[in-house]
């Protein structure tokens, strides 16, 4: 937790649950990533944290933006982004939204199917396009399904078709899974993309770009390699498989850009046992899966916690949210222990919650307000 956030919480005492985001941390993360990967263009994944203040700070720094919807495009343009620095990176788009993005000046679009390519050709003629391919996600704490991407052989055929449609077949993208801890996955994925470059060159399609996606982690309970290790692994993979003919490189950081910039303060609403003499306490918080902690689904993302009684005796707990939904349990199987001195009304800080919290918060589920987010 930064001193800036600590001071804000102590002096302002905002009502909980409340996410506080330190914009200076985000700026430091951006500058650090740009220093470590100077050959890459940074397209911030807006979905990670779409707060206007976050977007505005990154736009001021010269960031490009990976957007998932018309709403996100309008957001980043409204905060000063140049449309030439915006990618419509969702492979599932309404044709009306493609046309709207094109009218706003966006000229870079993702796809992974024949039907999506046809929509882009009709409503964004002449645009640059990149095809997303399926890759392995083993090692990711938040793995991605087969919802996005296509087989490499299909991607090759689609890029030829893109050329024939009058589009610019710009490149290939992939995503090795969010919170990826296996650095070798980038080497496998980049190797596959390099083969696609060669195959398409033989079909008179000269690709120019590789989009490495996201996957760089934030630090939760488990330690992760430093960002320097990821940058080294990524560039080593690109050099190994492309030699001196290195294409344009795009990266789409989200979690690693904003995750450690946020602290979510929550209040203990209830402490109970399910039967007399049971050791494990149930700790109910005023925040849960439906108000920002959706990534605790299947207990995938395991957040670090800070309480006012840290350092004292602890005992095992189940952590749950406040809603009348039986799925609103954060951690039951994962071993969490909290101080036995913890009381109803105590505040708990959930660390590294700057990513995928605000953007996942529901609107008025059970009458609970969306997660209050303050950028400082």
Distance, in Å, from the CA atom of 269 to the CA atom of 350, rounded to the nearest integer, reads: 15
CB distance 192 to 212 below 8 Å: no
Q: Record the tokens describing residue 283, joined without a space.
A: 């700790």
The answer to whether 46 and 58 are in contact (CB under 8 A) is no
- CA proximity to 152, closest of 212, 115, 199, 116: 199
DSSP assigned state of 30: H
Using CA atoms, how far residue 262 sits from 211, 247, 300, 317, in Å, is 27, 34, 19, 24
| Catalytic residue check, 324 | yes
Residue 207, CB-side half-sphere exposure with 13 Å CA sphere: 30
End-to-end CA gap in the chain: 13
**Rounded CA gap, 235 and 239, in Å?**
6
Cβ-contact 340, 314 below 8 angstroms: yes
Provide DSSP, 31-63. HHHHHH-TTEEEEEEGGG---HHHHHHHHHHT-
Side-chain half-sphere exposure of 182, counting CA atoms within 13 A? 17
3-state secondary structure of 273: coil
What residues contact 171, with CB distance under 8 A and at least 6 apart? 130, 207, 208, 209, 210, 211, 247, 248, 250
Q: What are phi and psi of 369, to 5 degrees?
A: -70, 155
**How far apart are alpha carbons 34 and 40 in whole angstroms?**
8
User: Which residues are the active-site residues?
Assistant: 324
């Amino acid at each position: 937790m930064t001193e800036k956030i600590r001071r804000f919480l102590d002096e302002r005492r905002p009502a909980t649950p409340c996410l506080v985001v330190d914009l200076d941390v985000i700026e430091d993360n951006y500058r650090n990533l740009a220093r470590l990967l100077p050959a890459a263009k940074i397209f911030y994944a807006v979905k990670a944290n779409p707060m206007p203040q976050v977007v505005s700070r990154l736009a001021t720094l010269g960031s490009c933006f990976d957007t998932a919807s018309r709403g996100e495009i309008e957001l980043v343009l409204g905060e000063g982004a140049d449309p030439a620095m915006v990618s419509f990176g969702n492979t599932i788009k309404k044709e009306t939204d493609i046309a709207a993005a094109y009218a706003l000046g966006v000229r870079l679009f993702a796809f992974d199917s024949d039907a999506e390519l046809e929509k882009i050709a009709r409503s964004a003629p002449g645009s640059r396009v990149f095809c997303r391919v399926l890759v392995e996600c083993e090692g990711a704490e938040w793995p991605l399904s087969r919802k996005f991407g296509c087989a490499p052989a299909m991607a090759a055929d689609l890029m030829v078709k893109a050329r024939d449609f009058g589009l610019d077949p710009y490149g290939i993208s992939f995503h090795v899974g969010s919170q990826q801890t296996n650095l070798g996955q980038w080497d496998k994925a980049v190797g596959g993309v390099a083969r696609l470059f060669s195959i398409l060159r033989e079909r008179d399609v000269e690709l120019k770009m590789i989009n490495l996606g996201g996957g760089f982690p934030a630090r939760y309970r488990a330690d992760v390699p430093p960002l320097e290790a990821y940058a080294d692994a990524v560039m080593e993979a690109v050099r190994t498989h492309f030699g001196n003919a290195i294409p344009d490189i795009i990266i789409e950081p989200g979690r690693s850009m904003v995750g450690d910039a946020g602290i979510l303060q929550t209040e203990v609403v209830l402490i109970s046992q399910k039967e007399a003499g049971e050791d494990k306490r149930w700790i109910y918080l005023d925040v849960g899966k439906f108000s920002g902690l959706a990534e605790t689904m299947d207990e995938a993302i395991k957040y670090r916690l800070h309480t006012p009684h840290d350092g004292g005796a602890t005992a095992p707990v189940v952590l749950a949210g406040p809603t009348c939904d039986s799925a609103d349990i954060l951690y039951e199987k994962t071993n969490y222990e909290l101080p036995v001195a913890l009381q109803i009304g105590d505040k708990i800080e959930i660390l590294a919650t700057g990513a995928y919290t605000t953007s996942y918060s529901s609107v008025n589920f059970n009458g609970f307000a969306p997660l209050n987010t303050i950028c400082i």
